[in-house]
Amino acid sequence: MSYLLDTNVLVWVSRDTDRLGRETARLIRRAPKLYFTPLSIAELRIKSMRGKLDVDPEFAAYLLRAGMTELPFTSAHAEQITRFGSLLRHDPMDRAIVAQAAAEGLNLITADRTLLELGFTWVIDANK
C-alpha cells in the first residue's frame, strides 16, 4: 500500500518527533512507497515566509534523500477538487492534496481533523 503524506506529517517525519501515532509510524516504516506533493513544499514555504514555521531550504531534497517520491500536481488532480464540495471553505492546499490522493488512488496520512471527518477509509489519522 502506498501513501501520500500530508504537510504536517512530512514535518513530523523530518523532525523525528513522537507526534505520529505508533500504528501510523509503523505504516510509514513498512510502506513500499511514500509520496509527497509539491503543494506541501509550497505550503511550508508560505508558512515560513509568514514566520509561523522554520523550514530548511533543502526540505524537498531531504525528502527525496529519505526515499520519498515527489508526486507532481497535474490538471487531472485539480479537476478532482470538485469531488470534495464539503471542503469548499477549507484550506485550498488541503483540498488539492485530498484531490491528488483520490486521483492517484493513494492513502492520505494526515492529522487534519476536517479531512479525517470526511469519513473516507483512505484518509488515515496520523495520530493513531
Domains held by the chain: number: 1
DSSP state of 86: G
pLDDT at 5: 98
- The model's pTM is 0.94
Domain residues for 73?
Answer: 2-125
Nearest to 10 by CA among 52, 50, 46, 55: 55
Going from the C-alpha of 80 to that of each of 43, 84, 106, 124, the distances in angstroms are 19, 8, 13, 19
- Residue 127 and residue 60: Cα distance in Å, rounded? 23
CATH code of the domain covering residue 60: 3.40.50.1010
Question: Tens digit of pLDDT for each residue in 57-111?
Answer: 999 999 999 999 999 999 999 999 999 988 988 889 999 999 999 999 999 999 9
